[in-house]
Structure 1
Amino acid sequence: MMHNPLSDVIALLRPSQVFSKAISGAGRWGVRYSSFGHPSFCVVLEGSCLLAVDGEAMLTLEAGDFVLLSSTPGFTMSGFEPVTPIQTDPLASAGDMDEVRHGDPNAEPDVRLLGGYFAFDSPDAALLVSLLPTLVHVRGEERLATLVRLVSDECKAQRPGRDSILTRLIDVLLIEALRATPGEKTPPGLLRGLADPRLALALRNMHRDPAHPWTVAELAKHATLSRSAFFERFSHAVGIPPMEYLLAWRMAVAKRLLRQPDAGLTKIAERVGYGSASAFSTAFTRYAGEPPSQYSRQYLKAITS
């Protein structure tokens, strides 16, 4: 079975919570959200509106669209009439049942949205999210459209377990949106690397077997490229050199293993490509800023306190 690095990243991100809020706009309206520290999303349930993300071209969002902001810079959402946007706290009231109305409170809404953000358990969420594009906008994907219809139906109903169902649907929406994004058109990152068939072979090998003593030369051979061509192509597409990516992936896997109560340094060292516990401890301390044993103790203490 072919190994999928994107599935690895999503599994490691593990959204622990999804905070969502129903939003509608009517007439003349606009809201400005400041940047904040969680990846955020928006599902357009009905109608259309404008989205202006800092540093990106303005988008017209339509029913069925899904937007993911991996690092959530500042952004403005509005109707189509000129307006001075109202500053809004992006974390306020997320998860409340009541819909937030912008603009004319008595008019039929021009757009209905479900917006929110993800919270992650993974301590490497920031590193892994940095491998994704700042803005993911997906339209016209039938599987995604089906999920959006389910989200819309769940938002309208007041059935038991609504929040739990919405959390799982949005989790699946995240995965589908990343799968549907054309990586060759994205900024440097994992999606762009996976869109290159030759680089995808190297990425799959690193994820499939992080314990293997990979070298640039061996990875280049798997990609059927010269060493120099592979190094340049990988660095340009993914945004970091291949050995730096491999180290980041090994340490992300190591952190996941260290969060398990029965973690043993020798076994973890073997799983991520180090010949001894001491060699792994040195590399981990240099990378994470603390010894692996201390990292493990602090994590286990935090979840039991």
Structure 2
Amino acid sequence: MDVLSDVIAIMRAGRPRSARVHWHGAWGQRFPSANGSAGFQVILQGTCWLTPPDGAPIALSSGDVVFLPRGHGYGLTDNPDTPLAEPDCDPLDEAELYTSASVGQPLHGATTVTLCGGYQLDPSRAHPLLGDLPDMIHLPARVGHHTELRAAVDLLGSELDNPRLGTDSVVPALLDMLLLYILRAWFDGQPERGTATGWAKAMADPAISAALDCIHRTPAQPWSVETLGSRAGLSRAAFSRRFTTLIGKSPGAYLTWWRLTTAARLLSESDAPLSEVAHRIGYTSEFAFANAFKREYGTPPGQYRRQAKPTGSDTLQAAAGA
């Protein structure tokens, strides 16, 4: 897969959850921090205010999207002066993958409708790309912008309004699409504002992006700095210098890290023999793979698999502000 698709596939654990909430009258709710999670709020109707842990309240209106990649707590309210109540029922803390809720008195005051969702992340497989994201991404609604994101929101809202056969499969897929479109919109916007650094700059750099695409699409290939530099259209020295500056790892170090990160996912999500896992990430020797994996994760791959395999029902608990 390409880099962004890989990041989403590798980082998420369990199944994402979502809720459509109707807020009526005067209301305010606090969403607590949730380590190891990420989440979003989409304003489908009306207006409201988001109060971050630090800084001034942020006005939100219909069509705005807010993404919180690190699970920091926040408040959502009809007015900055409205007290925030502790949630006595978090819609996303329910057993269902999707739900609807209503807060307040429908006949009193204006109504705001939000679509919220949460993703549980695996910290052991966190991609450095996420480390470059701000604590909060606010994508204001603008006519003609982020059309794919708006389409995914509409489809998700429709499924929550009218669950039908297949909704249990459609909702998680749409939530993954929504996450991808949020990240794509943010990365696409960085060069326009002239603030691209780190991974945002790497993704916009044709040479480094080409090399990353090679690593992610075919990690089992016997890539070297020379062959990756050739794909990037740069000399070995120039490529290595630019890659290391933008990514924070040398090409060889990133390739090794990504191979072992991919192996960790295969071990936790499949029953493939260790020899097959080693082969799929580019190791010709199971012994060499096991040694490299232990250096990275501190445990042999077989033991890692036993510890990673779920022992019961899915315990994912994604919070609306997570």
Partner of 1:204: 213
Partner of 2:120: 119
Secondary structure of 1:40 counterpart:
strand
Q: CA deviation at 1:73?
A: 1.4
Deviations along 1:74-110, whole A, 9 cap, x unmatched? 22222344334334479565347451426x6642444
* Letter aligned with residue 302 of structure 2: S
Partner of 1:99: 101
Secondary structure of 2:82 counterpart:
coil
Partner of 1:22: 20
Q: CA deviation at 1:303?
A: 6.9
Partner of 1:262: 272
Matched, 1:193 2:202: yes
Change over 3 Å in CA distance of 1:201–1:261 after alignment to 2:
same
TM-score by length of 2: 0.75
Matched, 1:219 2:228: yes
Hey, what's the Cα distance between the residues in 2 that align with 1:60 and 1:112? 15
Partner of 2:282: 273
* Letter aligned with residue 47 of structure 1: G
Hey, what's the Cα distance between the residues in 1 that align with 2:77 and 2:250? 40
Change over 3 Å in CA distance of 1:195–1:106 after alignment to 2:
same
Partner of 1:151: 156
Query: Quick one: higher RCO (CA 8 Å, sep 6+), 1 or 2?
Result: 2
Hey, what's the Cα distance between the residues in 1 that align with 2:284 and 2:147? 48
Change over 3 Å in CA distance of 1:157–1:302 after alignment to 2:
closer
Aligned-pair identity in percent equals 33
Secondary structure of 1:130 counterpart:
helix
Hey, what's the Cα distance between the residues in 2 that align with 1:291 and 1:227? 34
Hey, what's the Cα distance between the residues in 2 that align with 1:90 and 1:238? 41
Partner of 1:39: 38
Residues 21 and 94 in structure 1, CA contact (< 8 A), matched pair in contact too: no
Residues 29 and 77 in structure 2, CA contact (< 8 A), matched pair in contact too: yes
Residues 133 and 187 in structure 1, CA contact (< 8 A), matched pair in contact too: no
Q: CA deviation at 1:157?
A: 3.6
Secondary structure of 1:19 counterpart:
strand
Change over 3 Å in CA distance of 1:277–1:150 after alignment to 2:
closer
Residues 91 and 100 in structure 2, CA contact (< 8 A), matched pair in contact too: no
Identify which of 5, 11, 15 aligns with 1:7. Answer: 5
- Name stretches of at least 5 consecutive residues in structure 1 with no aligned partner: none
* Letter aligned with residue 94 of structure 1: D
Deviations along 1:233-290, whole A, 9 cap, x unmatched? 434544544444323211121123334323133x433332334222211110010110
1:70-81 → structure 2 map (5 Å cutoff) = 70-81=69-80
Aligned residues: CA RMSD: 3.6
Residues 38 and 119 in structure 1, CA contact (< 8 A), matched pair in contact too: yes
Identify which of 285, 300, 318 aligns with 1:291. Answer: 300
* Letter aligned with residue 66 of structure 1: V
Number of residue equivalences: 299
- Name stretches of at least 5 consecutive residues in structure 2 with no aligned partner: 314-322
Change over 3 Å in CA distance of 1:282–1:290 after alignment to 2:
same
Partner of 1:85: 84
